[in-house]
Amino acid sequence: MSDVFSLFEEGKVDADKFDNIDKEGASKLSNFIRQSIQIQKDIEDAEQHLKDLKFKKRKVKYIEKELLEMVRIVIKSAFSSYEDYQQYVFTVNKGLKNFYDEKMKEFEA
């Protein structure tokens, strides 16, 4: 990619054409450049904000996973046998499936 100065050197741009630019035109051009720079900065700030949010989301997911593991351990320790624990898990999962099925029916209606 060539820069602006190489365009002048290669003769692709006639420098004499810039003699007719008045103060108002230069001011408009300057404002457009400032706006463009600000927009680019806003984009970079938004991208950084998005990265920060994604990091927080991963952190929350990790904490959620750890909490669920702790709850599983506490629940498992509350049962006298592994079979009782499995029966509890089966019952809870069945209840969750029924709840989900009912909500889907409501949603589809």
User: Using CA atoms, how far apart are residues 13 and 16, in angstroms rounded to an integer?
Assistant: 9
Give the model's pLDDT for residue 15.
60
What does the buried/exposed string (b/e) look like for 44-69 if buried means 16 or more CB atoms within 10 Å of the residue's CB? eeeeeeeeeeeeeeeeeeeeeeeeee
95 CB burial (10 A radius; 0-12, 13-18, 19+) = exposed
Give the model's pLDDT for residue 76.
76
Domain boundaries, the chain: 1-63
Give the model's pLDDT for residue 10.
61
The yes-or-no verdict on residue 42 having pLDDT over 90 is: yes
Two tokens, residue 59: 């952190």
**Confidence grade of residue 16 (pLDDT, cut at 50, 70, 90):** low
